[in-house]
Copies of this chain bind each other. A is one copy, B any other.
């Protein structure tokens, strides 16, 4: 067994001990039960923790009836978990003492580490060193601990535990203590039970994904959710996402820092490295992680997932008592890519008989307020719609109904028992007893027309991701032999020469334009004569990657004078643009024609590894940032999904007279690039195929920049 897997086993065991400790020791316990170092004891006693509780503080002999020891040595057993609520400067020594005692895991509440700046960073480094030496695994520092509600482990000072708490099938892990507490409190209000609530704080040792993995393995947990302020370990996240898929437990994440400014603020706060949010988003989508944009949406999605069977597709049926609500939901559904299919004739005929004349029997269906007088209108409409083979999932919108709660709860419960297909209730201004009643009967209930569609859309996307995942299990990508792929790169470094990069990529099957290097005017003329077609001249220099900016590109040249002029002009302006640049000469190639321009690129990211991008067209890519990313390697099917994510995707189908393009050929190219990127990940830093022109014969890359280390 190598040292890495030992560390992994140690972490696994430590996390198990941490999440389900048979006994807990509080280092620096206080008799002031409302202070940070007093609250865990209060909570453990109040909430009925059944394990052993040990307190260490030389100041006291007993707190709230629990013996307090002067030091760890005085305790005659080895607790599973230590809570450290000491000043920052005392934490290292405490960890070493824990190690000596053989305690596997510690929750470090203490602040004054990375979050306060360089001084704290230094202390953090020492703490990690102490942890490694002593073999104690740490959650924190600067965290507010954890709750395992199943076993009444309230090893926390979070004010969430001040109120009533109960267990439930959601595992929740948060980078932030304050935001995490807010989410936990909101979950409680919605009757969403948190089986686990862990705050990971500065994450100097155990991180979000490692802890979440252990929670996910608990059979009492059905859904896992996280609040993130950044991602340090992309590999661990991918592993977690795969495990979540394997066990069919959806992973729902809210991550802040969607924009540049946000990422900056995050960096200054948590010491977490700013990550390019687009990459995170792409990786989440690729591996079936559900992303919620904020805390309320996260809880909406959890609500739906906890109670509702998986839908088989994206075809939504809508039933309301208000035409306006129907429109609002239909609009949102369309924006999110859900279908609102026409119902089968039989269904429409049946609904026409059920629904009053001033309602609407087509999807979205409006049963009108008449169902209050005659509940069968609502019940039968829902059943008939759920029975339609065109429909995968149904949302029912209603409001208020203070005087009809029992009737409606019974009605929905009866349907839930009779029907297997998923449905979700959207009950605006619902009385509290309506929400409780529906929950008791296993029915999800949300609060508004737009939020319910958002949540259903996330649920539908999860079910689609899960189907994709099941399908791709066991499939193997046509691998490029890494050794073979790497060997041409062996002697290259920095910005690769255009000729070499073109040859290399053509060699692995990427359709590349033919290019030649001319080091003199005469050479350029000769190449043009051989081609006997209009040509393009472009500066060739390892130091100039933005050729257009350097005025280093001349298009559509077809006579000797123009070519000579262009050659001289390019060399001159390149020298002015970058006086120290090595100018190797000028690339001469055919003037390619093509309407649509694409860009495909690769970036080696510190967090997520080899990331592949596709975007539409020249300048537009920079103005609109209309690009899609995936982690390499991936299949053609995944590349097709990338194309489908582009806002400008309508252009592929041909717009105003332009011909549709072969999307599959583009997807093949992207997938091929992803396989190449994966096989040369040890060397390739960056690759830009820009532009790729879409001609009648398919895509053709006419320029490229490749950088290796």
Contacts and interface: CB of A to CB of B under 8 A. Distances in A.
Contact of A178 (B163, B266, B399, B648): B399
A652 to B, nearest CB: 10
Interface string A273-311: 000000000000000000001111000000000000000
Contacts of A178: 320-322, 324-325, 369, 399
A112 interface: yes
A428 B116 contact: no
Contact of A400 (B115, B159, B227, B229): B159
Interface stretch (A99-107, A463-471, A655-663): A655-663
A182 interface: yes
Nearest to A652: B623
A546 B658 CA distance: 13
Contacts of A330: 259, 261-262, 265
Given A327-B262, A360-B269, A651 B369 contact: no
B256 A428 contact: no
Given A182-B400, A400-B160, A334 B619 contact: no
Contacts of A186: 428-429
A657 B573 CA distance: 14
B658 A619 contact: yes
A364 interface: yes
A44 B293 CA distance: 45
A194 interface: no
A657 B549 contact: yes
A450 interface: yes
A535 B428 CA distance: 63
A360 B271 CA distance: 12
A260 B144 CA distance: 49
User: How often does this chain occur in the complex, in copies?
Assistant: 2
A256 B175 contact: no
Interface string A231-253: 00000000000000000000000
A402 B163 contact: yes
Among A116, A159, A179, A447, residue most surrounded by chain B Cβ atoms (within 10 Å): A179
B294 A162 contact: no
Given A324-B266, A327-B262, A358 B111 contact: yes
A549 to B, nearest CB: 5
Among A258, A429, A451, residue most surrounded by chain B Cβ atoms (within 10 Å): A429
Given A112-B358, A176-B322, 10 more contacts: A160-B400, A162-B402, A175-B324, A177-B322, A257-B331, A262-B327, A265-B326, A295-B448, A295-B449, A619-B655
25 contacts: A111-B358, A116-B358, A159-B401, A175-B324, A176-B323, A176-B325, A179-B325, A182-B322, A182-B325, A229-B323, A229-B324, A256-B327, A258-B331, A261-B334, A265-B327, A266-B323, A268-B362, A293-B450, A294-B328, A295-B428, A549-B656, A619-B655, A620-B620, A623-B648, A623-B650
Closest 3 CB pairs of A and B: A269-B323, A182-B399, A178-B322
Interface of A: 111-112, 115-117, 120, 142, 159-160, 162-163, 175-179, 181-182, 185-186, 189, 227, 229, 256-259, 261-263, 265-266, 268-270, 293-296, 320-328, 330-331, 334-335, 340, 357-358, 360, 362, 364, 366, 369, 399-403, 428-429, 447-451, 546, 548-549, 619-620, 622-624, 647-648, 650-651, 655-658
